[in-house]
Chain A
Amino acid sequence: GAGVSQSPSNKVTEKGKDVELRCDPISGHTALYWYRQSLGQGLEFLIYFQGNSAPDKSGLPSDRFSAERTGGSVSTLTIQRTQQEDSAVYLCASSLLGRNQPQHFGDGTRLSIL
């Protein structure tokens, strides 16, 4: 079946611009995660959605970052007034509900801020 799909795969933009990154999770997965990975580093948790519950936004680095999940499916991560330090790969994952359910990742969006 289809895996987690992210778009665009690459995004280059100028400092100060806003960007939107999209994630299509696996159908039926109620949990959705966003992570950020800088070059040569591990994954940094950003935000978690689970069904209709309030999202866990504890990993968002600043108020320039926000995310939505519409209809319990597609999610968008928005970065306003981008800065050069926002350059990274943004990864989305989805899973079934449950503490130890494996997460299925997309291949990410590589964001470059000029």
Chain B
Amino acid sequence: LAKTTQPISMDSYEGQEVNITCSHNNIATNDYITWYQQFPSQGPRFIIQGYKTKVTNEVASLFIPADRKSSTLSLPRVSLSDTAVYYCLVGLNQAGTALIFGKGTTLSVSS
């Protein structure tokens, strides 16, 4: 099973770019890397997903090096509303049915 490691918390200020790195040394060939965002009292929300190189959407960018053993979620010019928990997910559980959520990274954005 692919295990992920990401910082427990990060602090930033409005307008800054935030990069959250996730390590996943034993990622499998058919595993994608998926990031979710969770606000208090809400369910997680899909942000972005990638397999290799770079993926960009209207919310974030995801950078994945050639060896795929890590990935970096980049949030450009964060605002107070980006304060949330960010989860990096790789691979599925033993039965191959569900994502494995760790504790995520709590991002706090201040003014």
- Asked if chains A and B come from one complex, the reply is yes
Q: Taking the complex as formed, is A1 at the interface, i.e. its CB lies under 8 A from any CB of chain B?
A: no
Interface residues, chain B, with chain A CB atoms under 8 Å away: 30, 32, 34, 41-46, 49, 87, 92-104
Main secondary structure of the interface of B (DSSP, over half): loop
Report yes or no: B43 in contact with A100, Cβ–Cβ below 8 A: no
Can you list 5 A-B contacts with CB-CB less than 8 angstroms, sorted by A residue number? A45-B93, A99-B30, A100-B49, A102-B46, A104-B46
Tell me the bound Cα distance from A46 to B19 in angstroms.
31
When distances are taken between beta carbons in the complex, the residues of chain B under 8 Å from A41 are: 103
B43 to chain A, nearest CB (A): 3
| Residue from A40, A91, A99, A102 in contact with B92 in the complex, judged by beta carbons closer than 8 Å | A99
Q: Taking the complex as formed, is A65 at the interface, i.e. its CB lies under 8 A from any CB of chain B?
A: no
How many A residues, CB 8 Å from partner?
Answer: 25
A59 and B98 contact, Cβ closer than 8 Å, known pairs A93-B43, A105-B43, A107-B42: yes
When distances are taken between beta carbons in the complex, the residues of chain B under 8 Å from A40 are: 103
Further 16 A-B residue pairs, CB within 8 A, beyond A44-B101, A45-B93, A45-B100: A4-B43, A33-B98, A43-B101, A56-B95, A56-B98, A58-B93, A59-B93, A99-B32, A100-B34, A102-B46, A103-B44, A103-B46, A105-B42, A107-B41, A108-B42, A108-B43
